[in-house]
Structure 1
Amino acid sequence: MDELTMVREWDGGTASDGPSVQARADARARLRTAIDEESRSAASRGRALSRRVMFRASLAGLGAAAVGVAVVVARGDEDDGTPRLSTVSATEVLRRAAERSRSQGSDLPVPRNDQYFYTKTYIRRTPVKGGKTRTWTDESWMSVDGSKPSLREEYGKIHHDPPLGEHEVRWPPTVYSKLKAMPTDPDKLLAQFRFGGEKTPEADRNAFFEGCMLMMGPRVMPPGLQAAAFEALSKLPRIRLDYDDVDVVGRSAVGVSYPGVDWTFLFDGRTYDYLGLRTKGSVPKKVGKDEWVQTGWYWETRTLQDLQVVDRIGQHA
């Protein structure tokens, strides 16, 4: 999936440490410039932005308005199976999601660098102002370390992606050894998400941004990393529950978001399983010689239905 191939240049630090703070800041500035240029170019050709550009633009954009700070969720009664209702905060949802992640673990093998991630992703898009909802179920094969060509299906269309260039890397990484080098202590991971910055709204927004990127998948998480990510983000003071009535592949979801970020984490309201991400997107439209507006706003949810580690493109398990 191309949204995971967030290409950034290494500029100082070791491979296990990832890009330096300055390198990330510089990369963000270059990405925003590239987004503007690519948006105008794509719209002038009469086609939608590529998935890579759409992903970058969404993460850099403004967030949707919040609709509450707590939500009523169903809790199963261990004695008779009757749901109980309780009110939880965004912080509590993330903490329970962390507990759920630790208890579940993973049955996926540690991927080799020469293998592929096979994914089946369910996408649901609904216009903000009402209209027809569209859905897709896409299958993709992504090279684990980016050294091989990948095959990506996006909104039902097939794309053949070349290997990463000599100075290109994925961040967050998909290589297991690099993921394993990331801290599983929530406080240390949060500091890394903040790029070592102070506890400011901007640093916290960066942290939520990084957490979204880490959870976009596909990647095989080392033990405790996903749980640590949820616990780290639970410490952010401005996180909020976004909504409680979204259907994700037949499951009702609760969302956790952060002001200024267009992405929302989705969790099962009963089990606190991580389900996927929701975003607000749009299509640029040219209205003058050098003037553009964003139109066709929509809500989109993505749910990873299947993830396997395979040896070749076309293999499912």
Structure 2
Amino acid sequence: MHDIDELRELKEYDAGAPPLDDETRRRVRARLVAAMTPANGPAPVARHRRPVLRIALTGAVAAAMAAGVLVVVQHDDDGQGLKATPPAASSPAMTNVSAQTVLNGAAGYARKHERTVSPRDDQFIYTKEIIKETDLGTGVTKSHVDEDWRSVDGSQPSWVMEIGKGWWSQPLGKNESMWPPQDWGTLRKLPTDPEKLILSLLHKTGPDDRNDSLAEISEQEWSEIHFSLAGLLKLVPVMPQGLRPAAYEALGMVPGVKAVPNQKDAKGRTGVAVTYDDPTLPEGAGGFGGYFIFDPQTYRFLGFRDQRTSDGGKSGTKKPTTYTQLSYLDSWAVVDKAKQRP
């Protein structure tokens, strides 16, 4: 069905419709190639639709990852997909912007304005994030302040918070790793070239799980790559120099990312958002990552928009509540110990 729709888009282009952007053209080509290739790819992957805090890769978990199964621990409740606001007729300059244009612009802005930092291994990265949640049933909005202290080398307990609740995160054990990585040493080893970064994400589950070029990446693998890049950008607010711009550019290479204009951030500013249509999920299902919102002129990153649904309480009798989340990074610093404010 996707192939038919995108062939129709290509036909409409010849009939006088607005020119297709580069990302859409790439999707059409990829789908046509896939349609002519025997379907012998990996089995579908079960996926959570809320930001995960940790993906532990112990021996058994690593084997599950290699088999095409994501194992996620310490996560929040699933949310539902967000419906994007259609382009406004009063904003013609924003109606045909591509996600790749936005993300390349965001990479350029980040390279020009990012602060260079080289923390010591025994220090902590402090971050302060503001989250505004609106109950979609009652319309009531509550604000939360999340403050994290992440051990730079991962050897010390870190204090982490989510939606106002905090806990001590203990160092990883032997043969454990996590995605996205939080320790500076691992982050610093990630490539700052976008294509190399994408290929490195394919290699992280084992030496036999690899591709040599972007042209060989399957639809299922692109879904996994998006999952990894979105997690990196959402859950690692401070990175070594050059990594965030590379991650933005890499995200722009993922078939299925799209730009959505006229999206409000937590401060009420109107921006252009980038989100992802995951072709491996059932139609109408929400994918991971939510909305990345950028200034429509400078492409400066403004914050995230996401959605979560609470559970029914310990007894399971309470009706689940759905919230819209708007969040942004308020400040960050390098400090000498946990719970020390700059």
TM-score (norm 1): 0.72
Distance 1:274 1:312, change over 3 A: same
Does structure 2 conserve the Cα–Cα contact (< 8 Å) formed by 1:98 and 1:230? yes
- Count the aligned residue pairs: 273
Distance 1:234 1:175, change over 3 A: same
Listed one character per residue, the Cα deviations across residues 71-120 of structure 1 (whole Å, up to 9, x for unaligned) are 9879xxxxxxxxx878522221111111111111314x212222111111
Letter in 2 for 1:316: R
Distance 1:66 1:178, change over 3 A: same
| Cα distance in 2 for residues equivalent to 1:208 and 1:70 | 28
- Give yes or no for the alignment of 1:102 onto 2:129: no
Out of 78, 94, 100, the residue aligned to residue 91 of structure 1 is 100
- Give yes or no for the alignment of 1:30 onto 2:57: no
Post-superposition offset of 1:122 = 0.2
- Give yes or no for the alignment of 1:209 onto 2:257: no
Deviates more, 1:169-178 or 1:300-309: 169-178
Post-superposition offset of 1:220 = 3.8
3-state SS of 1:152 partner: strand
2:56: which partner in 1?
8
Letter in 1 for 2:333: Q
Deviates more, 1:246-255 or 1:114-123: 246-255
Deviates more, 1:228-237 or 1:211-220: 211-220
Out of 149, 171, 183, the residue aligned to residue 179 of structure 2 is 171
| Cα distance in 1 for residues equivalent to 2:165 and 2:219 | 39
| Cα distance in 1 for residues equivalent to 2:148 and 2:84 | 33
2:243: which partner in 1?
225
Out of 289, 306, 311, the residue aligned to residue 279 of structure 1 is 306
2:288: which partner in 1?
262
3-state SS of 2:321 partner: strand
Q: Which has the larger radius of gyration?
A: 2
Distance 1:85 1:210, change over 3 A: closer
Listed one character per residue, the Cα deviations across residues 116-135 of structure 1 (whole Å, up to 9, x for unaligned) are 11111100112334510111
1:306: which partner in 2?
331
Post-superposition offset of 1:294 = 8.2
- Give yes or no for the alignment of 1:185 onto 2:193: yes
| Cα distance in 1 for residues equivalent to 2:219 and 2:81 | 14
Q: Could you say what the CA RMSD is over the residues aligned between the two structures, in angstroms?
A: 3.5
Post-superposition offset of 1:271 = 2.2
Letter in 2 for 1:230: Y
3-state SS of 1:216 partner: helix
Post-superposition offset of 1:258 = 0.7
| Cα distance in 1 for residues equivalent to 2:91 and 2:122 | 43
Distance 1:163 1:189, change over 3 A: closer
5+ residue gaps, structure 1, are 13-18, 35-51, 75-83
Out of 109, 119, 129, the residue aligned to residue 121 of structure 1 is 129
1:49: which partner in 2?
none
Distance 1:294 1:70, change over 3 A: farther
| Cα distance in 1 for residues equivalent to 2:148 and 2:328 | 14
1:297: which partner in 2?
322
Distance 1:168 1:250, change over 3 A: same
Post-superposition offset of 1:23 = 5.8
Listed one character per residue, the Cα deviations across residues 195-225 of structure 1 (whole Å, up to 9, x for unaligned) are 5464333222212211111112445423322
| Cα distance in 2 for residues equivalent to 1:301 and 1:211 | 20
Post-superposition offset of 1:307 = 1.2
| Cα distance in 1 for residues equivalent to 2:89 and 2:226 | 20
Post-superposition offset of 1:29 = 3.8
Letter in 2 for 1:192: S
Post-superposition offset of 1:311 = 0.6
Deviates more, 1:160-169 or 1:257-266: 160-169
Does structure 2 conserve the Cα–Cα contact (< 8 Å) formed by 1:66 and 1:241? no
Does structure 2 conserve the Cα–Cα contact (< 8 Å) formed by 1:149 and 1:161? yes
